[in-house]
Amino acid sequence: MSQAILRLPSVISESGYSRTTIYLRVSEKLWTRPVKLGARAVGWPAAEISALNAARIAGKSNDEIRRLVQELEGARLSALAQWQCVSREASNA
């Protein structure tokens, strides 16, 4: 799975959506929220964009895509929790 984070111009190119449509879909929970990269920079994990494109190509319904978005964002939280656990263990060693 790719660990790359795509900035908005790449996401627009990969998805075919405009900036406005991407943020509209985020508000409708049909697209994952961006990852904060800095004070004024965001991006999206490339693997999430691929999964969302594949769902759209497969003709998934909005409800199915919303469930996918929940799964993708849940996986982010799980990965973060796992990283924090490993980080704590390393600092205590």
**CATH number reported for the structural domain that contains residue 53 in this entry:** 1.10.1660
Q: What is the pLDDT of residues 3-20, one digit of tens each?
A: 899 999 999 999 999 999
Q: What is the pLDDT of residues 38-93, one digit of tens each?
A: 999 999 999 999 999 999 999 999 999 999 999 999 998 876 666 566 556 666 66
Whether pLDDT at 1 is above 80: no
Q: Which domain holds residue 77?
A: 5-92
* pLDDT computed for residue 78 by the predictor: 75
| This prediction's pTM | 0.81
Q: pLDDT band at 29, cuts 50/70/90?
A: very high
Q: Which strand (E) or helix (H) includes residue 41? A: strand 41-45
Average pLDDT in the 26-49 region? Answer: 96
Phi, psi angles (nearest 5°) of residue 17: -90, 155
Give the DSSP per-residue string, 68-93: HHHHHHHHHHHHHHHHHHHHHHHHH-
**Total number of domains constituting the chain:** 1
